[in-house]
């Protein structure tokens, strides 16, 4: 017993010392610095495409569209034309916009479509079959974005991706390993030999060519939105659906529309954050997190101090409880945005936190209404020479979606239907639970954790940030922003810093391996927290505007992410 007490006292003293040192922390190192523009994405080839668009006079929005199509070629695990996502845009004049090109449920979808006659979930039906696919939104989103913001010819934005698909590009070592591990599922789920399969194992620097995808991209180049949602590509999608008993029809494709929405805007300690509204949970969750921790001296606690980790985990626990109960597609469910972001409600939430012990998640309830009152996603951040900025997060949901490639069209389908609450209380692939707000309904968009975010300071652009990572997206973005604004890190340093995550259920703090020292873990466990080591959390790609106006990139070293500037 005395040994335990001594250990706790020593670790407490060390944590206090660590906290004090971090409260005066200065950036230790910087990422790539650029004078005029910056692109940070999940793959160096895609970042290079975006950089060339900026150098040729394109805006951040032009570059974002080109990067999106390039990622569909060079980053098939999550880059896509068969999925969907979100853009947050800030113009050089300070105007804000949120573009929703999230997938939708087909017209034939219904609430209990993944349950058997005993109302039990049919395992794998919402993740590994053709029924897992929602109506893709990416191409419609890019067309919608360029209608409003495009300055370069549409063909100029598609041609780099077409060239990459036709001529091929060198695989990274991690991509080669990934495709080799995927071989069995690609063979069993497809009735044709996809471009990702070959007799021998893939090796780093092998060239991957995708001729069918190149032809699909050419149809989009030549016919715009209709090159995907009508004509030959639409026919190929529907043929694939009919062959495997899927639900998406010609009518579903023709009717799909991307939507402009009002972003979630809030403040934290003098910084304005702009993020995505429903059907993303990201913006509201981020707003709740910032408001809760603002009630405490987080900066004084210090980076990864016991107090900071405890406070942030307790805030995350409560926010994810609200997410499960109240967030869904605002077009189909009346999301109580005002109430969830109410200062009084969040002050009360903060007051529930006991700084000396962990809360049992079973005791954390979601907000009670008062009358009248999917780890494989990808993010890219872009800033141009004029100060326009785009934060974009897109996904197929699981790695390579449902791993079914549209025969003759060369792109993978998403498994986003798993992001619906397929049965109240039943966790999705990321362990997230949900209820009626996110139940399956024809035409509805499934709830997302994607959190593309722009941060302003003194009415000027300050940061562009986002991450993949399924349920960990929100907490990755939250912690990265705090690393800069509260813990005085540079952008690359903030991105590289180890992360942790709490989502209420399971009742544990997930921590990157070697992310916390053993004494900190001992203290947190003594407070009642369960600590669960795990692999990498998120892959943040971000840009910070420095005091001299230059741009610093943060390209996450957890992946092949790369920054390109000019």
Residues known to be catalytic: 377
What's the CA gap between 112 and 99, in Å, rounded? 30
Determine phi and psi for 39, rounding to 5 degrees.
-130, 130
Residue 20 to residue 181: CA distance in whole angstroms: 46
Continuous H helices in 56-120: 60-74
Give φ, ψ of 45 to 5 degrees: -65, -40
Longest CA span, the chain? 76
The residue written with tokens 């700084």 in the block is: 355
User: Which DSSP symbol is given to 381?
Assistant: E
**Contact yes or no for 486/298 (Cβ under 8 A):** yes
Secondary structure letter of residue 499 according to DSSP:
-
Asked if 50 contacts 63 with a C-beta cutoff of 8 angstroms, the reply is yes
- What does residue 174 show for φ and ψ, rounded to 5 degrees? -70, -35
Q: Is the dihedral of CA 422, 538, 467, 400 positive or negative?
A: negative
Distance, in Å, from the CA atom of 96 to the CA atom of 87, rounded to the nearest integer, reads 11
* DSSP codes joined into one string, 240-297: HHHHTT----HHHHHH---EEEPPEEEEETTEEEEE--TTBSHHHHHHHHHHHHTTS-
SS3 41: strand
**Residues 6+ positions from 398 with CB-CB distance below 8 Å:** 127, 374, 375, 376, 415, 418, 429
Contact 11, 4 (CB under 8 A): no
Give the end-to-end CA distance of the chain in Å, rounded to a whole number. 60
Buried b (16+ CB within 10 A) or exposed e, 214-234: bbbbbbbbebbbbbbbeeebb
Beta carbons of 248 and 137 less than 8 angstroms apart: no
Cβ-contact 384, 364 below 8 angstroms: no
- Angle between helices 2-23 and 306-326 in degrees, nearest 10: 80
> Other C-beta atoms within 10 Å of 197: how many?
16
Distances (CA, A) of 109 to 179, 299, 344, 422, 443: 31, 48, 39, 11, 8
Q: Which letter does DSSP use for residue 516 in this model?
A: S
- Residue 297 is encoded by which pair of tokens? 């001296």
3-state DSSP assignment of residue 181: helix
């Amino acid at each position: 017993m005395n040994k335990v007490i001594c250990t706790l006292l020593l670790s407490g003293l060390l944590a206090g010392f660590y906290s004090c040192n971090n409260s005066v922390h200065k950036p230790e190192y910087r990422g790539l610095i650029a004078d005029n523009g910056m692109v940070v994405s999940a793959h160096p080839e895609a970042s290079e495409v975006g950089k060339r668009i900026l150098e040729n006079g394109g805006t951040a929005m032009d570059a974002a569209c080109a990067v999106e199509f390039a990622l569909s070629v060079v980053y098939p695990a999550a880059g896509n034309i068969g999925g969907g996502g979100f853009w947050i845009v800030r113009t050089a004049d300070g105007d804000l916009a949120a573009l929703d090109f999230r997938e939708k449920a087909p017209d034939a979808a219904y609430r209990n479509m993944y349950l058997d006659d005993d109302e039990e979930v049919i395992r794998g039906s919402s993740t590994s079959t053709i029924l897992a696919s929602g109506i893709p939104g990416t191409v419609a989103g890019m067309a919608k974005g360029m209608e409003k913001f495009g300055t370069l010819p549409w063909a100029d934005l598609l041609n780099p991706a077409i060239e990459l698909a036709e001529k091929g590009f060198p695989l990274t070592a991690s991509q080669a390993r990934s495709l080799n591990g995927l071989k069995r599922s690609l063979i069993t789920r497809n009735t044709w030999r996809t471009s990702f399969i070959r007799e021998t194992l893939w090796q780093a620097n092998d060239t991957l060519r995708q001729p069918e995808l190149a032809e699909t991209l050419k149809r989009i180049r030549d016919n715009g939105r209709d090159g995907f949602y009508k004509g030959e590509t639409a026919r190929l999608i529907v043929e694939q659906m009919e062959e495997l008993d899927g639900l998406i029809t010609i009518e579903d494709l023709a009717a799909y529309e991307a939507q402009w929405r009002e972003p979630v805007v809030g403040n934290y300690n003098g910084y304005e954050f702009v993020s995505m509204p429903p059907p993303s949970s990201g913006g509201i969750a981020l707003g709740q997190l910032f408001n809760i921790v603002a009630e405490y001296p987080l900066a004084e606690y210090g980076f990864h101090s016991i107090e900071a980790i405890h406070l942030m985990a307790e805030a995350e626990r409560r926010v994810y409880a609200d997410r499960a109960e109240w967030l869904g597609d605002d077009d189909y469910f009346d999301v109580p945005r005002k109430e969830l972001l109410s200062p009084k409600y969040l002050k009360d939430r903060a007051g529930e936190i006991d700084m000396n012990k962990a809360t049992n998640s079973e005791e954390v309830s979601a907000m009670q209404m008062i009358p009248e009152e999917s780890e494989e996603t990808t993010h890219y951040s872009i800033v141009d020479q004029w100060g326009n900025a785009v934060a974009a997060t897109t996904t197929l949901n699981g790695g390579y979606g449902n791993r079914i490639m549209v025969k003759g069209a060369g792109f993978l389908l998403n498994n986003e239907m798993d992001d619906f609450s397929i049965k109240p209380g039943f966790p999705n692939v990321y362990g997230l639970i949900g209820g009626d707000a996110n139940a399956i309904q024809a035409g509805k968009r499934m709830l997302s954790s994607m959190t593309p975010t722009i941060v302003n300071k003194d009415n000027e652009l300050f940061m562009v940030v986002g991450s993949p990572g399924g349920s960990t997206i929100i907490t990755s973005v939250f912690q990265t922003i705090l690393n800069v604004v509260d813990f005085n890190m540079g952008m690359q340093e903030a991105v590289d810093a180890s992360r942790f995550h709490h989502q209420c259920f399971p009742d544990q703090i997930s921590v990157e391996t070697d992310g916390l020292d053993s004494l900190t873990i001992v203290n947190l466990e003594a407070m009642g927290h369960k600590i669960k080591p795990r692999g990498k959390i998120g892959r943040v790609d971000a840009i910070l505007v420095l005091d001299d106006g230059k741009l610093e990139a943060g390209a996450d070293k957890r992946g092949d992410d790369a920054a390109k500037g000019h």
